[in-house]
Structures are given as structure tokens and as C-alpha cells.
Amino acid sequence: MTEFLQQLLNGISLGAIFALIALGYTMVYGVLRFINFAHSDVFMVGAFVGYYIGRHVPEHTLWGGFLALAGAMAVCALLGVIIERLAYRRLRGSPTLNVLITAIGVSLLLENLGQFFFGATPRPFPELFPVTTFIVGGVYVSSNQLVVIGVTLGLLLALEFIVHRTKIGTAMRAVSLNPKAASLVGINIDVVISFTFALGSALAAAGGILYALNYPSIDPLMGVLPGLKAFVAAVLGGIGNIPGAALGGLLLGIVETFVNGSADWSSYKDAIAFAALIIILLFRPAGLLGRFTTEKV
Amino acid sequence: MIRNLPSVACSLALAATLAAQDTIKIGEYASLTGKEAAYGDTSHKGIVLAIEELNTHGGVLHQKLELLTEDNQSKQGESATVVKKLISRDHVVALLGEVASIRSLEAAPVIQNAKLPMVSSASVNSKVTEAGDYIFRVCFVDSFQGVVLAKFVQESLKVRRVAILTSVNSAYSVGMTRVFKERFLADGGTVTAEQKYSEGDKDFRAQLTAIKAAGADAIFASGYYTEAALICRQARALGLTLPVFGGDGWDAPALLEIGGAAMEGTYFSTHYSPDNPSAEVQNFNQRYKARWGEVPDAWAALGYDSAFVLADAMKRAGSTEPAKVRDALAATKDFPAVTGHITMDAHRNPSKSAVILTIKDGKYKFVSSVAP
């Protein structure tokens, strides 16, 4: 039983990070109908920004941790806006395949720039937040795991609030529904799309820092694998759907952890995760919470 | 990448100044970027130092050596490509590389087909030299290292029950696990849990939780340092205080940087310790430090040795003709290398001793040296 609870906690904290990255994929998809493959590399940049800020603020302090988190989110929000402005904006209206290939190009560019500037060797990530371990009924809970779960939950609620309760959120939903009609009623589409990228990239940065806190070894290719998993999570939950992305991430994290913890099946963990995806999509082609028409972000 | 630039630039400069004369072209394929860059980088620096020293002493057979280096980015599939390029376009007469077994395994058949001699610096997987009679190495093999570890944990650490964590897509890790387990079981030990992960994984909490439930006296993490450091950290965070140990794949400065305090009381076997007081080692340390400004690790020493063993074979063969160099390599006897005297056996593997290191107060500490 202790083992089960420990694995469940491991799964939830891993899934929370997948969820955070998946939110970024899903937001951009919801508004622009394309997969921003550079997202996982913005995630990596976020971790590196956190690394550099972390060297200038004292370790093990709450304010230092949140400063690094906020700094990385701000830098990556800006990066997201720049990427959209330089790479994607000119392609708006052209076939989605062109944008998709461009996104892969941007992703490779970021990875290789990362290897050039940061070096390819993995680096240790500083312990930004105070670290303690609680033992509850035999289950070891690290404070970093709680930070991950808390920050993800907070950002998820903030996102729901922005999308459903604010003016810019309404504009985002309008652009998602029908860009032409939205611009006809006076919505500045460029601003809305820039904002979407800023928000998505800030979430990726937060994901990067939380990931690095839990797995403190960062390198320029660290985003590839979690990025892929988060993409799967977004599709699993119904791409374009915010609670769906969170649910998909959690589910994937938990399934992966349990498969990993079993002695006989751990070599097949990715196969099992993707098989689950295929089965769910067979029964629910739009994902777990996806609907074909309404409430796309 | 940045770290490698000076060395790449230097070998290019070396190539440029020497290209005018008739040179002996030696190819090197290495992981200069990517996941295993920490090994590839120092191994490359060791090779560059060796080539420079050979050239300042008049080269080999009155010809200067020219090193042509290709980066395989630690990626699968790249080694075969860059090696083909070195062979067919640059017409190298011999090849040096690689540290990671999986990439040596990839390049070795290509080199064997071309009938060129290859000397691997640090690929310990037994299968590497089985690729053919042109493939050599200057390090011990995993079957020896696995036995050393199994004996050490049973006799010195009194470990009877061990849990194993293997990286399923690393030829090195799979080989180490197989050999260790065979010996450990034969000596009466038990393996309580066998968990697996893939290269690039960062979350091991699931496997470690299962290991904790199964119970063990020690954990054998048979993969590379990138994972080993995170495994130790996560094990400590889950309340597992037992000793963790591994093989030479742990030997990298980043192990301590990433692992931090979690590495205390862990053990690993490797090829070489810079603390070894022997004159050969200390001399090499000084020259390497003067050239690169850092203390050499095992990969630097093995890279250095691989170049010297090859050059020695060329001198004895009196020619750079691949078949003759091959025969001379196979006849290498008692060559005084930095990592120990090298005598090639019938399977083109040297028999050498291993050292066991532990980590205490954030520093490597020499435990023992185990002769074959």
C-alpha cells in the first residue's frame, strides 16, 4: 500500500509537469490550429534562464525561487512573441503544413543554438526552493514535488480565469472561433496571437524550471522527450482544451510511473503510453475532454 | 560545444600546417557534443596531446601525424556516417574512437570491412572487438569489470542482496549488468529487483520505489554518470540510504556536480586515478595540465594511450600499411601506457588492472586496485 501511494505521488508530480507543458501546446493549437513544436525548446530555454538567475540569488529561499521562476517566465514570454513575430506571422494563412515545418525548423534552431552557447554537457541545476522531505505514513514527499503540484494547479486556475473571465481571454476565444469575424468586430488579431504565444511560452518556462528542480541536470536537448510526452498528453486530453491537457498530462505521468515501477514491463513504458493513446483516440477521436465544436480556447 | 572549440580549432590548425607535407592521416570519431560529450571531450584532448607530442619528437616513420576529427554528436547512426567519410574521402590509414560502446559497435563493422586498424580508447563492451581482427582497444573489458565489482561488493562491502538498474538501450550498461549478475549469483548473492530505464530518462522514482519495496543491501546502477547522479539524488530523497555503485561510466566531473551530497558513500570502478603516485601518471598529469589547464580523467588518459599504442605499432611495423599495422598492434607486448602496461591478448583486448574509487566529503578517494 505504501508502495502504491508512493508511486501515485511520483506519478502525479511527473504528470503535473507534463500537464504544464501540454497547456502551452494546447493554447497555441486552440487559437492558431497548429502544433508549435518549438514549445519544448522554449521549455529548455526556461530551465537555462532559471539556471543563470539561480546563480545570482541565494539558494533555498522562497523569494529566490519565485524570482527565478518569474524571470524565466518573462524571458520566455518575450522569446515566444519574437518567435511568432519572426517565424510564424508571415506564414499566417498559408497551408498548415508550411507552418508545421517552420515550427520544426525553429525547434532545431533553438536546440543547436543551445548546444553552441550552453555546451552539450549536462549541468547541475541549483536548488532554488528550500528542500525538505516529509514522511507521511511511510511515503516520502519531497517539498519540490509539492511545489510542482502547487505551481501547476495555480497556473491552471490562472489560465482558466484569463481565458474565461477577462477581455483578452474573450478575444482569444473569438479569434479561435473565427479569426475573420473577430477582426471585423474590432479585435486586433496580432495582439491576441502574440499574447497567446507569450502565455504559452511562460508556461513552458515554468515547466522547465519545475522539471529542472526535480531532475537537476539540464542540457540543451532536455526538452525533446518531455515535449513529446506533453504533446501526447495534449492530444490525449483533447487538443485545444485546457482542462483536457491537464488531465492528459496527469494520466500519462501516472501510467508511465506505474509501468516503470513494474519489473517486467518497464522496457515497454513508451510503447504502453502510446498504445493507451491509440486506444483512447479510437474510442474518443477528439481526446478525453475534446469536443469538435464548442469551447476551443 | 564552446569547450570543444579550442581543441577542434587546434586540430584544424594542426591539419593546416601539416597538410603541405606528406602526412600520416589518422581519423578520430568522437562524441564531442551531445549526451556523452563529457567523455568524448577529454578523450579527444588526450588524443590531441599525444599527436602533438609525437609530432614534436619527429613524428612516426619520419612523417608527421595528421589527426582528422569528426563529431558524431552522441547520436545513433552518425558514427557509421562520419567513419565512412573519414575512410572514403579523407583516406585515413587508421582510426581512433570511441568511448561509448554503442557507437564503437556501430563504426567497427564499417572499419573492419575497409580493413583498417581501429583502436578504441574506452569501449568496454566485450562485443566491440568481436567485430573483427582489425578492431583493438586499450581499456579492460566489461566482463573483467563486472567481476571486479561483484567481488568488491561481496567481499569489502559485505553485500548479499543487490538491486540492479539497467539502461536498456545502452550496450555498455546491458553488458555490465549481464556480467555482474552472472558472477554475483555464482558467488551466492541474490538479486532482489531488476529495474530498467532508457537513455535520457530523468525520472527514476518509480524504479527506486519498487527497489525500496523489494529490499536490498546495495544498488548497482550500471549506466552512465548522467543517470547515475540523478539516481543517487532521487534514491536519497526517497529515504534509500544504502550504498550505490557502478562502473567506469560514472567517471566524469559532472557526476559530483549533479549528484552533490547524494554521492557520498557511493563506489565505482574505473581505469585510472590521477592520485596514482606512479611517475608515469604524474608526468602525464603535468603535461596534460600544461596543455589543457585541467586534471586529466580516465578518458583523457585512455585517449592518450590509444594514440600512442597505434603510433608504436606503426613504428614497429615500419609502415603505415593497414595489414602490417594490424599485425604489429596484435603483437603489442608490455607497452608502458599511462593507464598501465598493455599486452594485447588473442581477442585484441589488453589485460589491465582496475581501480575502485569512493566518494567522501565531495572528493574521489582511492579504495583499491584490482589486478586481473
- What is the band of A271 on the pLDDT scale with cuts at 50, 70, 90? confident
**Average pLDDT for residues B8-32, to the nearest whole number?**
68
CA distance A269 to B198: 9
For residue B359, what pLDDT is reported?
A: 93
Compute the residue count for chain A.
297
Nearest of B325, B314, B332 to residue B65 by alpha carbon: B314
Q: B226 vs B52, which has greater pLDDT? A: B52
pLDDT in tens, B284-342: 999 999 999 988 989 999 999 999 999 999 999 999 999 999 999 999 999 999 988 89
Nearest of B197, B263, B200 to residue B226 by alpha carbon: B200
- What is the band of A64 on the pLDDT scale with cuts at 50, 70, 90? confident
Closest chain B C-alpha to A209 CA, distance in angstroms? 14
Query: Chain A: residue nearest B37 by CA?
Result: A121
Between chains, do B205 and A10 touch, taking CB under 8 Å as contact?
Answer: yes
pLDDT in tens, A154-176: 999 999 999 999 999 999 999 98
Compute the residue count for chain B.
372
Q: Is the pLDDT of residue A68 over 70?
A: yes
- What is the band of B9 on the pLDDT scale with cuts at 50, 70, 90? very low
> Where are the alpha helices (H) located in chain B, listed in sequence order?
5-18, 37-56, 78-88, 101-113, 142-155, 171-186, 205-214, 225-237, 253-259, 279-292, 298-317, 322-330
pLDDT in tens, A87-113: 999 988 888 888 889 999 999 999 989
**Is B218 strand, coil or helix?**
strand
Q: Report how far apart, in Å, the C-alpha atoms of A203 and of each of A170, A208, B182 are.
A: 20, 9, 48
Between chains, do B200 and A225 touch, taking CB under 8 Å as contact?
Answer: yes
Contact B310, B318 (CB under 8 A): no
Assess A1–B contact: CB distance below 8 Å, yes or no: no
Closest chain B C-alpha to A142 CA, distance in angstroms? 7
For chain B, the average pLDDT equals 89
For residue A291, what pLDDT is reported?
A: 66
**Ramachandran angles phi, psi of B30, nearest 5°:** -150, 160
Burial B160-171 (b: 16+ CB within 10 A, else e): bebbbbbbbbbb
> Where is B343: in which H helix or E strand?
none
Of A122, A124, A260, the CB nearest to B207: A260
**Average pLDDT for residues A224-247, to the nearest whole number?**
89
Assess A150–B contact: CB distance below 8 Å, yes or no: no
For residue A70, what pLDDT is reported?
A: 94
CA distance A22 to A290: 14
**Average pLDDT for residues B20-36, to the nearest whole number?**
84
Within 8 A by CB and 6+ apart from B28, the residues are B44, B47, B67, B68, B69, B70, B95, B96, B97
3-state secondary structure A129-187: CCCCEEEECCEEEEHHHHHHHHHHHHHHHHHHHHHHHCHHHHHHHHHHHCHHHHHHCCC
Chain A residues touching residue B71 (CB < 8 angstroms): none
Q: Is the pLDDT of residue B1 over 60?
A: no
Cis peptide leading into residue B98 (ω within 30°): yes
CA distance A20 to A158: 12
Between chains, do A120 and B233 touch, taking CB under 8 Å as contact?
Answer: no
CA distance A178 to A142: 45
- Which domains does chain B possess? 2-140+278-352 (3.40.50.2300), 142-270 (3.40.50.2300)
Q: Examine the predicted complex and report whether its ipTM is higher than 0.95.
A: no
CA distance B61 to B179: 42
For residue B21, what pLDDT is reported?
A: 56
**Ramachandran angles phi, psi of A36, nearest 5°:** -85, 90
**Quick one: cell of B82?**
562520419
Contact A119, B218 (CB under 8 A): no
Interface test with A, best of B194, B202, B204, B241 (most A CBs within 10 A): B202
Q: Is the pLDDT of residue B19 over 50?
A: no
CA distance B75 to B106: 11
Paired sense of beta strands B218-221 and B161-167, if any: parallel
pLDDT in tens, B230-258: 999 999 999 999 999 999 999 888 889 89
CA distance B226 to A211: 16
For chain A, the average pLDDT equals 89
For residue B20, what pLDDT is reported?
A: 46
For residue B36, what pLDDT is reported?
A: 79
The Cα diameter of chain A in Å comes to 60
Torsion-angle region of residue B10: left (phi > 0), alpha (psi -120 to 50) or beta?
Answer: alpha
**Is A93 strand, coil or helix?**
coil
Q: A240 vs B112, which has greater pLDDT? A: B112
Q: Is the pLDDT of residue B4 over 80?
A: no
- What is the band of A294 on the pLDDT scale with cuts at 50, 70, 90? very low
**Is A119 strand, coil or helix?**
coil
Assess A143–B contact: CB distance below 8 Å, yes or no: no
Domain range summary for chain A, segments of one domain joined by +:
2-223
For residue A285, what pLDDT is reported?
A: 84
Question: Cα angle at A150 between A146 and A153, to 5 degrees?
Answer: 140
Paired sense of beta strands B340-342 and B335-337, if any: antiparallel
3-state secondary structure B11-37: HHHHHHHHCCCCEEEEEEEECCCCCCH
